[in-house]
Structure 1
């Protein structure tokens, strides 16, 4: 998994591969490259590239979330090696916002408003996702933010637990997706019945009605 974002104001490209662990992280900087590791396991959490315009073309460095090609990731890995680090990044171009089908929906065992859904997203097996939206229902097509999704708000979606129940993604509302003319009412975005399960979510290709 690789999530990358560019800050023009800070002139930094952030590459994230695992959730932050603020109290258990250590950072090692060599020149314009800083590697962040888990202090206990020493596993890679992320890499900050300062002055990334010296590594990647300006056209690649769009402000905010950046999806990098394998060629661009190879250039970042070359910069890591040149700085003296052994860690390497792995390119990830798979879509993180996909169309899902709610197969089943049951009550959460420890909440009167949350539900536990089994959602088909076109993978080998359905994902379990905890949802609190009042309009979530079995049989609906929805937008699913998979682990590794970079939300418009800047939040990254990771596997986690809600009230003790594992959840492996998030069903999204129009507002969370930063879609134009979103309604004030609560609820996830419901897609047309013919929306293809597992396909990347592209709002311009669907007849969206809020």
Structure 2
């Protein structure tokens, strides 16, 4: 789930909630009071929610841009949906989005000389395939992984993507991208020492 809010923007006091990274082919709108559900017409799958007059339901003071997804925020959102009569199962993933990963495999990208296809162990049953263009990436490294749904300090949201025809499910991060103080201003991912534990949340 990706949520954004910017009251001073043209949309005003509206909370924009993205439940799926897939674009809606044909939109079906369903209104319940201040809640509008954005559905895929062919499947009735809810892919987004717009909550109007959002500040009446949720404490959004000082928020401009992406909203941090916390248990308290989700509880407020669920209450707002219930009050409006909308039935939505949010299925929120509270697991850390920046984690320690281990590069188990590295292969050349078939369609781009400067890209590599990495297989990353993040402590889950299924490893992640991530396309990376960093010149220093190598097999056997422990690295910082931004998983799907992570929000970078720049405000960029990490989504499933395809780079030159190869699917990528996350990003390997540099210290500069993580805005770590005194980070070297050079190209290349951040390589962690052996003490870092695979799958644990990364803390700068």
For Structure 1 versus Structure 2, the TM-score category normalised by the shorter chain is: 0.7 to 0.9
Say whether the 8 Å CA contact 2:24–2:40 is kept in structure 1.
no
1:25-47 per-residue CA deviation (whole Å, 9 max, x = no partner) reads 34444432222222333312221
Q: 1:43-58 alignment to 2 at 5 Å?
A: 43-57=45-59
Q: Distance in 2 between matches of 1:39 and 1:131?
A: 35
Say whether the 8 Å CA contact 1:33–1:83 is kept in structure 2.
yes
Q: Which residue of 2 aligns with 1:120?
A: 121
Say whether the 8 Å CA contact 2:25–2:40 is kept in structure 1.
no
1:131-166 per-residue CA deviation (whole Å, 9 max, x = no partner) reads 111011111111111111122333322223222222
Q: Which residue of 2 aligns with 1:16?
A: 18
Q: 1:5-154 alignment to 2 at 5 Å?
A: 5-9=4-8, 10-19=12-21, 21=23, 24-57=26-59, 62-154=63-155
Q: 1:138-177 alignment to 2 at 5 Å?
A: 138-177=139-178
Q: Distance in 1 between matches of 2:85 and 2:162?
A: 37
**Gapped runs of 5+ residues in structure 1?**
204-210
Q: Distance in 2 between matches of 1:51 and 1:176?
A: 34
Q: Which residue of 2 aligns with 1:207?
A: none
Q: Which secondary structure does the structure 2 equivalent of 1:137 belong to? A: coil
Say whether the 8 Å CA contact 2:161–2:169 is kept in structure 1.
yes
Q: Distance in 2 between matches of 1:125 and 1:21?
A: 25
Q: TM-score, normalised by structure 1?
A: 0.81
1:41-88 per-residue CA deviation (whole Å, 9 max, x = no partner) reads 3312221223333223457x7444333444542332232233232223
Q: Superposition RMSD on alpha carbons, in Å?
A: 2.4
Q: Distance in 1 between matches of 2:43 and 2:100?
A: 35
Say whether the 8 Å CA contact 1:119–1:128 is kept in structure 2.
yes
Q: 1:161-200 alignment to 2 at 5 Å?
A: 161-200=162-201
Say whether the 8 Å CA contact 1:80–1:88 is kept in structure 2.
no
**Gapped runs of 5+ residues in structure 2?**
none
Summarize the Cα distance change of 1:94–1:24 in structure 2 as closer, same or farther, 3 Å threshold.
Answer: same
